[in-house]
Amino acid sequence: MQKVGNKYGLHRVIEPVGVLPQPANKLDNNMDEIYDNEILIDVQTLNVDSASFTQIKEQAGGDHEKIKEIMFDIVAKQGKHRNPVTGSGGMLLGKVAKIGDALKGKIDLKEGDKIATLVSLSLTPLRIDKIKEIRDEIDQVDIDGQAILFESGIYAKIPDDLPEGLVLSALDVAGAPAQTAKLVKPGDTVVIIGAGGKSGMLCCYEAKKRAGVTGTVIGITHSEKSTKRLQDLELCDYVFPANATQPVAVMEKISELTKGEMADICINNVNIPDTEMTSILCTKPSGTIYFFSMATSFTKAALGAEGVGSDVNMIVGNGYAKGHAEITLQIMRESEKLRKVFLELYA
């Protein structure tokens, strides 16, 4: 008889007692027995959050053995992979090993199905037995290990018509293009910071699709290489490289491109800190900023907007939006150019 679990995974919280798994300091990651409402996953790949993996790489000086040590240490101390500096996690790809009795027949999964979890590693009980390969250029780590998906957890089955690596990379940032689809209206001027990265390119595609011929999409990149890649994709009306931590210079360029009107919508996808003021200054006071980046300081954003007298609407980067997996995978099916780039870079 399996033990009865809490829908949100409270039964796995060791300390502090009473909090949810995400803010908890330590989770029970014993996989010998599962609760009746859990899904046990044999993990194949961890797709670590970009801000988190960037920080880990910097801490390790790029050394793969030190990266392994840091990741093992995180999981040993917390029972999950929540970066203690950034607070973020990532997601995983794996195969369903066991389904709790209370869930059997109530979900569209069976043992052996390959899935990507769509909830953060920062709340997912995880055990790492072995780190087999680190692909630091795409923030992915292949492991032997197991994880638990709670009853409230969301997931996506890996479709047959798209490669696994492509699906994992795209779904890791599925919240960004889905939120973009909700926010952007025909005729909007949209500024995307970090437009040349994984989430940025998906947001550019969706923004262009939603803003239409009367709208304008401006992509801000961080290198000549990503600028050229984004220009070749033809997803933006304007693309330029800039240091997003220099708000005044970027604001002046956006003012020039928009004839002083600034952006209706600004989407921030960068994986480094101190880009909050750039987002605020590039957005008209009545506009909206979507901070998808986990490197965002919401204290800096709130006080920064207040400091410059901007009544801008700021949205926390919720990685979940209804239908986000379907929207993101549909982009991969619709755009041959973008699919090719994702296959080359991330799969």
pLDDT in tens, 247-274: 999 999 999 999 999 999 999 999 889 9
Amino acid 318: pLDDT: 81
Report, as an integer, the average pLDDT of 193-215: 96
Which amino acid belongs to residue 10? L
Last residue of a domain, one of 133, 158, 183: 158
Amino acid 332: pLDDT: 95
Confidence of residue 293 (pLDDT cuts 50, 70, 90): confident
Reported as type and span, the H/E element at residue 238 is: strand 238-241
Residues 290/203, Cβ–Cβ less than 8 Å = no
- 65 assigned to some structural domain: yes
Same domain for 247 and 153 = no
CB atoms within 10 A of CB 257: 18
- 4 assigned to some structural domain: no
CATH number at residue 264: 3.40.50.720
Residues 50/139, Cβ–Cβ less than 8 Å = yes
Report, as an integer, the average pLDDT of 62-75: 97
- 152 assigned to some structural domain: yes
Same domain for 342 and 211 = yes
Amino acid 231: pLDDT: 97
Q: Per residue in 12-35, pLDDT tens?
A: 999 999 999 999 999 999 999 999
Same domain for 339 and 264 = yes
Amino acid 232: pLDDT: 96
Helix 198-211 to helix 175-183 angle (10° resolution) is 20
- 2 assigned to some structural domain: no
Query: What percentage of residues in the chain have a pLDDT greater than 70?
Result: 100
- Whole-number mean pLDDT of the chain? 95
Residues paired with residue 291 on neighbouring β-strands, in sequence order: 268, 316
- 79 assigned to some structural domain: yes
Amino acid 172: pLDDT: 85
CA dihedral 38, 123, 53, 77 (to 10 degrees): -100
- 164 assigned to some structural domain: no
Same domain for 208 and 70 = no
Confidence of residue 322 (pLDDT cuts 50, 70, 90): confident
Same domain for 197 and 117 = no
Tokens of 140: 């992915």
Separation between Cα atoms, residue 338 and residue 186, nearest integer Å: 22
Which amino acid belongs to residue 330? Q
Same domain for 20 and 102 = yes
Count of domains observed in the chain: 2
Amino acid 216: pLDDT: 98
Same domain for 233 and 95 = no
CA dihedral 329, 331, 334, 338 (to 10 degrees): -110
- 169 assigned to some structural domain: no
Same domain for 212 and 131 = no
Same domain for 337 and 199 = yes
pLDDT exceeds 90 at position 347 = no
Same domain for 123 and 15 = yes
Same domain for 315 and 287 = yes
Same domain for 18 and 153 = yes
How many H-runs (helices) and E-runs (strands) does the chain carry? 11, 14
Q: How far is CA 90 from CA 48, 93, 139, 236, in A?
A: 4, 11, 9, 28
Confidence of residue 67 (pLDDT cuts 50, 70, 90): very high
- 112 assigned to some structural domain: yes
Give the domain extent around 309. 175-346
Residue 219 DSSP SS3: strand
Amino acid 321: pLDDT: 86
